[in-house]
């Protein structure tokens, strides 16, 4: 099958976000006008003083969320170690990473499951995948399995939206996002994109505690649909790569839209991600964080429900019941 006949995946409501050449020229000119705006890092973006390495290597009972950086998290649930979009790369293209990963890859515990949201390079970095220890099962969007096999990774399963996989007491569900993907000149949208629900049963047959990892997404009605299907305790939502908004609004949510998505999801706690590691657009981490906090305060939302994790910080989720 050649690239012309490969299946192409699409967003809900047939939303197309392919940019035109005039759009790219307009953005390029606006970027030239922003030269000199070098404030990339936010003062609040600090590494945790001490990574809980011993605990993370021995934990088999407690549910935890550890932020490694960008969209990479270590999530521990019911004795299973799960890593989302593992990227420990020091460079993205020609640009150097702004902040070092919160946990060195050599300090990671053995991994049971790797969740991939989509094929963009800042979410799918094969050298990082190949350095993870353990014998992980890779759960990927439909269309990506052949690429993994080409890279020598055979323990991989691919998913359409709403497909699910169970390991032990943990259920993982691939859910929609509004985005796109491309790794070469010829493979645009030949694999899908989405987020992941990670959940385990609590007391009662229909009660679950759930973590939602959004991957990468523009604002769309799918957030409300996901919220209706799952009782979400922690929503890991992107807040970066939104500027200029006229150019990026179909691909990425702004901090204000991230808060709106959080409310659509009817989630309990918001953890921001997708900022501070790579310069993917014209916004800065400080802008993203300042706008997020400002919108949170404007809506008078409980401060305790917004968790700005430090790099390498582990959030202990013993009290995940709603």
pTM of the prediction?
0.93
Give 49-100 pLDDT, tens digit per residue: 899 999 999 999 999 999 999 999 999 999 999 999 999 999 998 889 999 9
Residue 167 in domain:
yes
In a domain, 221, yes or no: yes
Q: Which of 69-73, 135-139, 243-247, 309-313 has the lowest mean pLDDT?
A: 243-247
107, part of any domain = yes
pLDDT surpasses 90 at 261: yes
pLDDT of residue 312: 97
Classify residue 319 by its DSSP letter. T
Question: What's the CA dihedral at 301, 274, 243, 222 to 10 degrees?
Answer: -70
Q: For the chain, what is the mean pLDDT?
A: 91
Let me know if residue 16 belongs to a domain.
no
Q: Is residue 36 part of a domain?
A: no
pLDDT value at residue 153? 97
- To the nearest 10°, the Cα dihedral for 76, 125, 27, 260? -10
Residue 278 lies in a domain: yes
Q: Is residue 27 assigned to a domain?
A: no
Q: Return the residue matching tokens 């400080």.
A: 286
Residue pointed to by tokens 């192409």 = 8
Query: Looking at residues 36-55, what average pLDDT do you find?
Result: 74
* Pair of tokens at residue 193: 């994109």
Q: How many domains is the chain partitioned into structurally?
A: 1
d(CA 139, CA 117): 9
Q: Is 194 within 8 Å of 215 (Cβ atoms)?
A: yes
Residue 297 lies in a domain: yes
Could you please report the per-residue DSSP string of 36-71? T----S-TT--B-SS--HHHHHH-SS--EEEEEETT
DSSP category for residue 184: S
Question: Which CATH number belongs to the domain containing residue 180 in this structure?
Answer: 3.60.15.10
117 is in which domain, residue-wise? 46-316
**Cα separations (Å) of 97 from 62, 87, 93, 146, 279?**
31, 11, 10, 29, 8
Q: What is the residue whose two structure tokens read 């940019």?
A: 19
């Amino acid at each position: 099958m050649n690239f012309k006949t490969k299946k192409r995946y699409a967003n809900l409501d047939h939303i197309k976000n392919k940019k035109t050449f005039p759009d790219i020229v307009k953005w390029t000119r606006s970027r030239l006008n922003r030269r000199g705006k070098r404030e990339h890092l936010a003062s609040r973006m600090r590494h945790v003083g001490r990574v809980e390495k011993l605990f993370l290597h021995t934990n088999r009972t407690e549910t935890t969320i550890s932020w490694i950086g960008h969209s990479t998290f270590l999530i521990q649930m019911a004795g299973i170690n799960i890593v989302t979009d593992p990227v420990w790369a020091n460079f993205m293209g020609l640009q150097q990473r702004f902040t070092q990963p919160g946990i060195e890859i050599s300090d990671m515990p053995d991994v049971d499951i790797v969740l991939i949201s989509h094929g963009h390079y800042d979410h799918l970095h094969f050298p990082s995948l190949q350095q993870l220890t353990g014998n992980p099962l890779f759960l990927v969007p439909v269309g990506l399995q052949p690429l993994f096999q080409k890279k020598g990774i055979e323990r991989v399963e691919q998913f359409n939206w709403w497909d699910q996989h169970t390991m032990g007491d943990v259920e993982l569900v691939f859910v929609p996002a509004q985005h796109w993907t491309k790794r070469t000149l010829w493979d645009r949208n030949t694999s899908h994109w989405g987020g992941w629900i990670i959940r385990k049963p609590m007391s009662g047959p229909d009660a679950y505690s759930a973590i939602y990892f959004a991957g990468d997404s523009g604002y769309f009605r799918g957030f409300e649909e996901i919220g209706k299907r799952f009782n979400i305790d922690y929503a890991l939502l992107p807040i970066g790569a939104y500027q200029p908004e006229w150019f990026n609004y179909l691909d990425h949510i702004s901090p204000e839209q991230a808060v709106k998505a959080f409310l659509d999801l009817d989630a309990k706690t918001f953890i921001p991600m997708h900022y501070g590691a790579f310069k993917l657009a014209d916004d800065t981490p400080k802008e993203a964080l300042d706008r997020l906090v400002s919108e949170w305060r404007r809506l008078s939302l409980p401060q305790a429900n917004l968790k700005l994790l430090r790099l390498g910080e582990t959030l202990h989720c013993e009290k995940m019941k709603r």
